[in-house]
Amino acid sequence: MAIRNLTGVSQFLLLGVSEELKLQHFIFGLFLSMYLITVFGNLLIILAISSDSHLQTLMYFFLSNLSFVDICFTSTIPKMLWNIQTQRKVITYESCITQMYFFTLFAGLDTLLLTVMAYDHFMAICHPLYYTVIMNSQLCELLVLVSWVISVLHSLLESLSLLRLSFCTFLEIPHFFCELNWMIQLASSDTFLNNVVMYSGAVLLAGGSLMCILYSYSRIVSSIGRILSSQGKYKTFSTCASHLSVVSLFYCTGLGVYLSSAGTHRFHSSATASVMYTVVTPMLNPFIYSLSNKDLEKSLKKLFGKRIIKGPIGIGFKASVSIINHPGKDSDFCLENYLSEFPCW
């Protein structure tokens, strides 16, 4: 059966985060600041990693990909800022579908990359003797490629299923971007298939990724218990807790939007939750994942032309090489030594 557009509308009306006129200037300044911090912060990470040969390791390969995805993930913000500045809230039907497609694409990529990074943690901490053998560059590139393919196919499926819906001639979207859940709710035709596709995708993609992350960290916690040094335990717990806090923020707010009751139509709470995982979480990426990393901090200083004290960089990768070359060492000692130098994000 051919998929065709049954809608009679050519434009939608985006109501934004708030309709209060007094808050528009504040909302514009707030979102502009967060967007600029997100773009320039993650862009600095990409430039620092690409310009420093010492950071051409697998852990920073994942980090640079995540930074790129986070920049693209906030691509809905410029349209919102334009609407506030021009006092026009109209978006065409074609632009709305396109916006929804790319938002779903990069949301899925963000989810999968967080899972891949958790798996990298799991291999580095739970299997330090075989880390560099298993986590080679070919496997890491394949993991990122598979993440792209899955996200593209998932987003394409959601978009094609949305094209079969019909809408009223006048339609208001109580959101600051074309969010999939609200578009399905506001359709005037049968949405059973769309709900099946949306919730199945949420369960398989987001739910499956979350289960993988939880399993990885359960094994990590078990391995950390074998570390002899209390300083090594504290460092690993503190750095991994930062990553877990971002994962929790992303999943709790993201799944809350899609799993909330469709009949309440409390768009203010839904829009606020969407802000948390579409704007705040990508903005925190440079601070939580990178600025606490000494190697990356040195690279950023070098990028701005500041003097750097010469020393070993990329210690985490070198430590894994030394471990793999001495398989006769005690595994607990190797784990403790590796964790003491491994820069968790």
Model confidence at 235, in pLDDT bands (50, 70, 90)? Answer: low
Out of 101-115, 259-273, 283-297, give the one with best mean pLDDT.
101-115
Stated length of the chain: 345
Question: Which pLDDT belongs to residue 149?
Answer: 96
Mean pLDDT within 246-259: 72
Nearby residues of 183 by Cβ (< 8 Å), 6 or more positions away = 96, 100, 162, 165, 173
The answer to whether the CB of 103 falls within 8 A of the CB of 83 is no
Model confidence at 72, in pLDDT bands (50, 70, 90)? Answer: very high
Question: Which pLDDT belongs to residue 342?
Answer: 46
Structure tokens at 183: 């578009």
Secondary structure letter of residue 14 according to DSSP: E
Mean pLDDT within 26-35: 91
The answer to whether the CB of 277 falls within 8 A of the CB of 103 is no
Mean pLDDT within 299-324: 48
Question: Which pLDDT belongs to residue 63?
Answer: 84
Question: Which pLDDT belongs to residue 65?
Answer: 92
- Please, what CATH class does the domain formed by 12-164+171-341 belong to? mainly alpha
Question: Which pLDDT belongs to residue 260?
Answer: 57
Question: Which pLDDT belongs to residue 32?
Answer: 93
Mean pLDDT within 143-151: 95
Tens digits of per-residue pLDDT, 89-116? 888 888 889 999 999 999 999 999 999 9
Cα–chain-centroid distance for residue 163?
26
Question: Which pLDDT belongs to residue 164?
Answer: 86
Higher pLDDT, 245 or 140: 140
Higher pLDDT, 239 or 313: 239
Mean pLDDT within 219-247: 73
Question: Which pLDDT belongs to residue 9?
Answer: 56
Check whether 272 has a pLDDT greater than 70. no
Model confidence at 320, in pLDDT bands (50, 70, 90)? Answer: very low
Mean pLDDT within 201-216: 90
* Spatial separation of the C-alpha atoms in residues 251 and 247, rounded to whole Å: 6
Name the least confident of 25-29, 262-266, 278-282.
262-266
Out of 78-82, 224-228, 304-308, give the one with best mean pLDDT.
78-82
Residue 95, class by beta-carbon neighbours within 10 Å (0-12 exposed, 13-18 middle, 19+ buried)? middle
Mean pLDDT within 69-92: 88
Mean pLDDT within 10-21: 76
Show the CA angle centred on residue 94, arms to residues 92 and 96, nearest 5°. Answer: 70
